[in-house]
């Protein structure tokens, strides 16, 4: 649609040329006895946040999510912003005197990918390593500003692919006991390690994520539809930007449409206010009377992958601020 010329070409090349030269070790497939299996509904996603896990989800257009807490209430946003301020004050206490902690200006995030499978077939979740390494390539393009947006402080390095065959975890059901058991069993690393769970998902979701918290829990991480990775079969959502979007939440970004046309919106000053999620690629959409068209090309909206290509400088600043408050060592 002319919104980001050469991006599709650049990403297609990345799918073809990305290799396993990244730091990568592939774990043996773990087989767990089956319990109950769930069925997922097809369709496009929005973001939601179960109150107990502080998560956010991306939903397909027309999809009906089981939860819709990702569009947070005003009270939830106030609580989160107050917590961020408190976390920053706490960190400031460690920046003076012996053992002072210096805020980071750039960060390489280690990534552990858990491929959740029903069986050994592609239809059962057994996606190839090439899709995963292509996803890392897309993340590095998006967060470096190579796709046309602001450069952020973040890059991503694949550390491990862990394949797990367990029909009781497939599809992954948001907010379920099975999801909690899966993450409690599999999560690796500290606050600075991104754990990404790939599989078929429930409730028309493309993905969901936890926001950062001062105390690390086993729920921390992102869940992404396996076929939304670059080269996957999720039409209009298969260039890897569900991963980009969900990691944005993991790094403390709200949706661009958070709060609608009033209040503090997404708590970022350079993203124009937006009354509701944008789907597909509605060029020229303008749902609020304040200055600026709707940010339909922003990674934190709900448009097609082919339409979104940028973070703003304000979002980049918010992410590194939150990293230093919550995830830095």
**Residue 188 annotated to the active site:** no
Alpha-carbon gap, residue 69 to 243, rounded angstroms:
19
3-state secondary structure of 232: coil
Is 205 in contact with 45 (CB distance < 8 Å)? yes
Among 45-59, 62-76, 196-210, the least confident range = 45-59
Alpha-carbon gap, residue 89 to 103, rounded angstroms:
13
CATH superfamily of 106-253+311-327: Collagenase (Catalytic Domain) (3.40.390.10)
What is the structure's pLDDT at 307?
98
At 198, which helix (H) or strand (E)?
A: strand 194-199
What is the structure's pLDDT at 290?
93
Share of residues in the chain with pLDDT > 90 (%): 67
Task: Exactly one of 179, 200, 246, 274 is catalytic; name it.
Answer: 246
Length of the chain: 329
| Average of per-residue pLDDT across 45-51 | 38
Is 325 in contact with 93 (CB distance < 8 Å)? no
Among 33-37, 74-78, 131-135, the least confident range = 33-37
| Average of per-residue pLDDT across 87-116 | 82
Query: Residue holding tokens 């028309």?
Result: 204
CA nearest 310: which of 133, 154, 196, 152? 152
What is the structure's pLDDT at 93?
74
Residue with the larger pLDDT of the pair 196 and 34: 196
Number of C-alpha atoms within 13 angstroms, CB side, residue 266? 33
What is the structure's pLDDT at 72?
82
Q: What is the mean pLDDT of the chain?
A: 82
Rg of the chain, C-alpha, whole Å = 19
What is the structure's pLDDT at 310?
98
Where in the chain are the domains? 106-253+311-327
| Average of per-residue pLDDT across 165-174 | 97
- pLDDT tens per residue across span 182-229: 999 999 999 999 999 999 998 889 999 999 999 999 999 999 999 999
At 132, which helix (H) or strand (E)?
A: helix 129-144
Question: Strands, E, within 95-166: which ranges?
Answer: 107-117, 154-165
Residue 43 CA to chain centroid, in angstroms? 18
**Count of beta carbons in the 10 Å neighbourhood of residue 195:** 24
């Amino acid at each position: 649609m002319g919104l980001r010329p050469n991006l599709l070409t650049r990403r297609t090349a990345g799918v073809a040329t990305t290799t396993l030269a990244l730091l990568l070790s592939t774990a043996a497939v773990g087989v767990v006895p089956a319990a109950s299996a769930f069925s997922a509904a097809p369709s496009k996603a929005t973001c939601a946040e179960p109150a107990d896990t502080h998560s956010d989800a991306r939903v397909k257009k027309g999809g009906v999510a089981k939860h819709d807490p990702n569009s947070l209430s005003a009270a939830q946003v106030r609580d989160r912003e107050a917590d961020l301020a408190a976390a920053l004050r706490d960190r400031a206490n460690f920046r003076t005197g012996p053992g002072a902690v210096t805020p980071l200006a750039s960060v390489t995030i280690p990534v552990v990918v858990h491929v959740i499978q029903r069986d050994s077939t592609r239809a059962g979740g057994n996606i190839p390593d090439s899709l995963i390494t292509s996803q890392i390539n897309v993340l590095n393009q998006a967060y470096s500003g190579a796709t046309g947006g602001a450069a952020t402080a973040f890059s991503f390095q694949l550390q491990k692919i862990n394949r797990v065959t367990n029909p009781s975890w497939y599809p992954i059901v948001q907010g379920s006991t099975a999801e909690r058991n899966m993450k409690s069993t599999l999560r690796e690393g500290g606050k600075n390690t991104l754990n990404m769970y790939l599989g078929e998902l429930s409730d028309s979701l493309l993905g969901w994520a936890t926001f950062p918290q001062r105390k690390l829990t086993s729920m921390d991480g992102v869940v992404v539809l396996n076929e939304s990775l670059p080269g996957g079969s999720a039409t209009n959502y298969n260039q890897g930007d569900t991963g980009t979007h969900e990691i944005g939440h993991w790094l403390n970004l709200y949706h661009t449409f958070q709060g609608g046309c009033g209040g503090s919106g997404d708590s970022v000053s350079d993203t124009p206010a937006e009354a509701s999620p944008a789907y597909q690629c509605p060029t020229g959409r303008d749902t609020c009377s304040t200055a600026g068209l709707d940010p339909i090309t922003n990674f934190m909206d709900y448009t097609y992958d082919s339409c979104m290509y940028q973070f703003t400088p304000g979002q980049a600043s918010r992410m590194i601020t939150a990293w230093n408050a919550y995830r830095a060592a």
